[in-house]
Amino acid sequence: MKIWWKESVIYQVYPKSFCDSNGDGIGDIQGIISKLDYLKDLGIDIIWISPLYESPNVDNGYDISHYQAISKDYGTMEDFDQLLKEAHSRNIKIVMDLVVNHTSDQHQWFIESRKSKDNPYRDYYIWKEGKDGKEPNNWASIFSGSAWQYDEATNMYYLHLYSSKQPDLNWENETVRQEIYHMMKWWLDKGIDGFRMDVINKISKVQTYEDILPASSKYMKPSRYTSNGPRIHEFLKEMNHQVLSHYDVMTVGEITACSIAQAKQYTGENEDELSMLFQFEHMDVDLGKYGKWTPIPLDLVKLKTNLTKWQEGLADDGWNSLFWDNHDQPRVVSRFGQTQEYWKDSAKMLATALHFLKGTPYIYQGEELGMTNYHFESLEDCKDVEVFNAYKDLVEERQVLTHEEMMKGINANSRDNARTPMQWDDSTNAGFTQGTPWMKVNPNYHKINAKQQINDSTSIYHYYQKLIQLRHQMPIIVYGKYELLEKDHPDLFVYTREYQGEKLLVITNFSTHEYDYDLHDFSDGKLLISNDDIKINKVIHIKPYGAYVIKKS
Ligand code: GLC
Ligand code: CA
């Protein structure tokens, strides 16, 4: 089925770090408004904005204390309404983050819920008795330690899959679901164009709340009891029928672990659940023994195999989101590319490899400039609750990593890498703020910034602009069939797309090695886009981090 959200390119704004309009060091809504023309020129269709709601900011807004209020840091509801209007007047849609697996512990519902066992809001959250003076079970929080927090007032524990200040909502409770649907309708009636649904596959839990056995450590990841749970599809269908189906909107679910079959259930055309999903398998290929904190070198064959599994798996039903970066991932050019000599080429190469796949591409703020990871000297440079909890767990308590090893992991993969301020120009603080930024700006902003790249026709920014234009012009890029070539090649990621008699060949080099590549039946084709300057011949020379897209004539 052809539909607008398949033909769109989405840009993610992390508001805290995007643009500060009033000098308090924190990005805000007026800042976003001031950059709408920049985004329009880039060519994107939709902006997904990470949470703008009222929040104590334990997890930068993913802990919401009021779903229908704008955080004072970001502005007012009038500012938001203006943003929506200004975006729509430029033909840009706005997608909001929907964080309903949990709230903040400062949400009114939770403040009530924790007061007493018979409070009307008690069952809005998941409360359990302790076992032998300990937590109700051995589930681990995704942010380290136990997933249960003891609460003195009632001598019971509440569940928090993330930080202890993010209590999980009880979706078994019909009243909770109705409250959420009501809130969603309120936003949709304002005219927003959809939701990105935070960890949405975790809202239905297996109700037995049993220990995970055998236990190889004190706390065990509970995902088999908390991901894609028994009532997940029932809840999403209910949400769709009661809310989403009444509006022409798109949804993307953050689905942290699922099979192809499950992905089809979430996003299949006749399922009435979600438009598309974010799954993370391709982001897991370089994780080591302690996950992201001990990365291993990229194995390109593994990455290609995984991307191909998802391309083929959802070829005829369901829909993929395409992304390298977001606010939870390090910068891709630092991760799978190169930040020295081949910085520019590798950033363009990575963009090419991703944007010619089938699915809806996402660009995370600064990715279009090739923004890189930050260099964190010490923990004081870090801001993210995940870093502090993991450090405490791995270095201080379990002592499985040294301080140096952990700092290496933080530099490679911490979420803070994505959250340094956007680099607009080469003035103080990269033009992000007139004040003191809430988080340090990457010192490389003198070299890497939007102003410079807008003025340079060979820049990464202009390359992204062209990728977006091509997607808008050529249905083959949206709807064409994908096929992997050279599946065992250690350095080259090569694939074709095919649609209504047209054919594209995409060649990307993930290494500094050079190759001669025989184009076979693309030998008299046309070069659509490349980071190299070549003539199409029977055999072309592939440069380090080269990217070539050839249209068959
Ligand atoms: C999602 C968000 C992440 C947040 C977590 C808890 O994974 O992307 O930033 O910390 O959910 O809400
Ligand atoms: Ca501000």
Residue 17 Cα to ligand 2 middle (Å): 10
Measured from the CA of 63, which atom of ligand 1 is nearest? 12
pLDDT at 547: 99
pTM: 0.98
Residue nearest ligand 1's atom 7 by CA: 199
Alpha-carbon distances of 384 from 59, 115, 345, 395, rounded to whole Å: 7, 29, 30, 16
Same structural domain, 241 and 320? yes
Same structural domain, 121 and 247? no
Answer whether residue 139 is part of any domain.
yes
Same structural domain, 271 and 143? no
Measured from the CA of 385, which atom of ligand 1 is nearest? 10
What is d(CA 343, CA 409) in angstroms, rounded to the nearest whole number?
21
- Contacting residues for 214 by C-beta, under 8 A, at least 6 apart: none
Answer whether residue 169 is part of any domain.
no
Answer whether residue 168 is part of any domain.
no
Closest-lying ligand to the alpha carbon of 283?
Answer: 1
pLDDT at 254: 98
Same structural domain, 333 and 404? yes
CATH of the domain at 339: 3.20.20.80
- Contacting residues for 65 by C-beta, under 8 A, at least 6 apart: 53, 54, 55, 56, 103, 104, 106, 107, 108
Q: What is the pLDDT of residues 37-84, one digit of tens each?
A: 999 999 999 999 999 999 999 999 999 999 999 999 999 999 999 999
Question: Phi/psi of residue 223, each to 5°?
Answer: -60, -30
CA neighbor of 51 nearest in space, from 43, 61, 59: 61
Q: Tell me the best of 199, 325, 383 to mutate to test the pocket of ligand 1, counting ligand atoms within 8 Å of each CB and taking the most.
A: 199
* The token pair that represents 119 in the structure block: 């409070």
- Contacting residues for 423 by C-beta, under 8 A, at least 6 apart: 366, 369, 371, 430, 431, 432, 441, 442, 444, 445, 448, 449, 450
Same structural domain, 199 and 52? yes
Alpha-carbon distances of 242 from 2, 235, 314, rounded to whole Å: 24, 10, 26
What's at 526, amino acid-wise? K
Q: What is the pLDDT of residues 111-153, one digit of tens each?
A: 999 999 999 999 999 999 999 999 999 999 999 999 999 999 9
Measured from the CA of 59, which atom of ligand 1 is nearest? 10
Residue 550 Cα to ligand 2 middle (Å): 45
Same structural domain, 405 and 379? yes
Same structural domain, 503 and 526? yes
pLDDT at 1: 92
Same structural domain, 181 and 302? yes
pLDDT band at 312 (very low <50, low <70, confident <90, very high): very high
pLDDT at 308: 98
Residue 377 Cα to ligand 2 middle (Å): 26
Last residue of a domain, one of 422, 439, 467: 467
Enclosing domain of residue 13: 7-101+174-467
Last residue of a domain, one of 467, 493, 526: 467
* The token pair that represents 512 in the structure block: 């500094």
CA neighbor of 368 nearest in space, from 440, 469, 467, 437: 467
Closest-lying ligand to the alpha carbon of 433?
Answer: 2
Same structural domain, 85 and 120? no
Distance of CA 7 to the CA centre of its chain: 19
What is d(CA 124, CA 135) in angstroms, rounded to the nearest whole number?
20
Answer whether residue 241 is part of any domain.
yes
Answer whether residue 472 is part of any domain.
no
Answer whether residue 178 is part of any domain.
yes
Q: Tell me the best of 50, 198, 202, 252 to mutate to test the pocket of ligand 1, counting ligand atoms within 8 Å of each CB and taking the most.
A: 198
Answer whether residue 323 is part of any domain.
yes
Look over the chain and give the mean of its residue pLDDT values, rounded to a whole number: 98
Q: Note every long-range contact of 147-150, with CB atoms under 8 Å and residues 24 or more positions apart, other chains counting.
A: 147/219, 147/222
Q: Are 344 and 545 in contact (CB under 8 A)?
A: no
> In 29-147, at which residue ranges do the beta strands (DSSP E only) sit?
46-49, 53-54, 66-70, 93-98, 127-128
Average pLDDT on 15-39 reads 98
Measured from the CA of 326, which atom of ligand 1 is nearest? 8
Same structural domain, 443 and 349? yes
pLDDT at 113: 98
Pocket of ligand 1 (CB under 6 A): 59, 62, 99, 162, 198-199, 254, 327-328
Instruction: Please give the span between the terminal C-alpha atoms of the chain, in angstroms, as a whole number.
Output: 27
Residue 144 Cα to ligand 2 middle (Å): 31
Q: What is the pLDDT of residues 142-181, one digit of tens each?
A: 999 999 999 999 999 999 999 999 999 999 999 999 999 9
CATH of the domain at 118: 3.90.400.10
Answer whether residue 476 is part of any domain.
no
Residues annotated catalytic, as ranges: 198, 254
pLDDT at 471: 98
Residue nearest ligand 1's atom 2 by CA: 198
Q: What is the pLDDT of residues 81-111, one digit of tens each?
A: 999 999 999 999 999 999 999 999 999 999 9
pLDDT at 64: 98
Give the total number of structural domains in the chain: 3
Q: What is the pLDDT of residues 487-516, one digit of tens each?
A: 999 999 999 999 999 999 999 999 999 999
pLDDT at 86: 98
Same structural domain, 139 and 191? no
Residue nearest ligand 1's atom 5 by CA: 62
CATH of the domain at 491: 2.60.40.1180
Same structural domain, 382 and 431? yes
Closest-lying ligand to the alpha carbon of 73?
Answer: 2
- Contacting residues for 108 by C-beta, under 8 A, at least 6 apart: 65, 66
What is d(CA 501, CA 8) in angstroms, rounded to the nearest whole number?
23
Residue 73 Cα to ligand 2 middle (Å): 6
Q: What is the pLDDT of residues 215-239, one digit of tens each?
A: 999 999 999 999 999 999 999 999 9
Q: What is the pLDDT of residues 422-431, one digit of tens each?
A: 999 999 999 9
Average pLDDT on 426-440 reads 98
Q: Give the β-pairing of 156-159 and 148-151.
A: antiparallel
